[in-house]
Amino acid sequence: MKRPAITFWIGAAVIVAAEILLAIDVAGRDATATGGVLAATARWVAINMTPLAWVGFLLFMDGLLGAGSPARTRPRLFAVCFVTSIGVWLFFDWVNFYFIHAWDYHGLDSISVVHDWAGRFVAFGAISPAMFMAAEFYQGLGVRRLRGPRLVIGRRARITMVIIGLAGLVFPFVVQRPIGSLTLWVGVVLVLDPLNFRFGDAAQPTLIRDWQNGRWGRTVSLMAAGLTCGVLWEFWNYWALARWTYDLPFLGPLEDYRLFEMPWPGFAGFPPFALECWVAFQTILLVMRKVGMPFVERPPGDDAVL
């Protein structure tokens, strides 16, 4: 294994320092007196834990991937991924807060609007790059070589996928309850991936093209990365002051069995979420090329994630 780049150690240091300061804040939350600069710093970290931890994670993964890191070899592509990740998550937030109300944010009332949105910019921007870099790591471990059955996905099958996906995306708006999240995490894949396949050129990465060629590594790596990042999201969220919680009554008694704030069954949503973010990003890149903005680098090979 190659020696990690310096960003690996910087990212690890950011995460460890943030964890220590968060623990200090948690230990002092019941105290009546403030503890000076250390307590104030720990409180600031507790409010900003999510963006801090994910900046650390991106640096950590960049160092782990080393010279092959997308942030180094494809910086424009990485930057577009970061910026568009914000828009992708704002779409999911819009569906949630106006319709299904499956999650809620807490602890933001005590900070300014500028502080709030600066934190969101970093936290939301890190969502897709974090999962894609984690997937690149899994690919590098050998998952890229995973082969399986070659699926026959013809025109009718792709049209059927789009129809089912559209129904899945409409469902949250119709039901307007947390149960709408069940289809929210799969509808985007079913709608956009067939469109990427249809309107992209032969070099356009799509899940359908992977499956038709029996290449399952990228799909598995993305799903594993989604679950990995999902556990980390919930872990770094649990003790933070600016945090989120879930309301998933359709799970019945299972809602009470939680790892951090997430009910155990809810973790099943992270693997398809990673696929959704990747497919949505491919759609964004396809549109950019179609309108004459092909300034981002093409991923190398048929198994690259970012």
- From the list 300, 257, 306, 262, the residue with the least C-alpha distance to 285 is 306
The stretch 280-305 carries a mean pLDDT of 90
pLDDT at 32: 53
pLDDT at 84 over 60: yes
- From the list 77, 92, 96, 89, the residue with the least C-alpha distance to 124 is 89
Helix axes 113-125 and 75-95, enclosed angle (nearest 10): 120
pLDDT at 31: 64
pLDDT at 33 over 70: no
Q: Over pLDDT 70: what percentage of the chain?
A: 98
pLDDT at 301 over 90: no
Task: Work out the pLDDT band at 147, boundaries 50, 70, 90.
Answer: very high
Global pTM exceeds 0.85: yes
Pick left, alpha or beta for residue 215 (phi over 0 → left; psi -120 to 50 → alpha; otherwise beta): beta
pLDDT at 34 over 70: no
Rounded to the nearest 5°, which phi and psi values hold at 297?
Answer: -75, 145
What is the Rg, in whole angstroms, of the alpha carbon atoms belonging to the chain?
20
pLDDT at 135: 98
pLDDT at 1: 56
Domain boundaries, the chain: 71-290
290, with CB counted inside 10 A (0-12, 13-18, 19+), is exposed
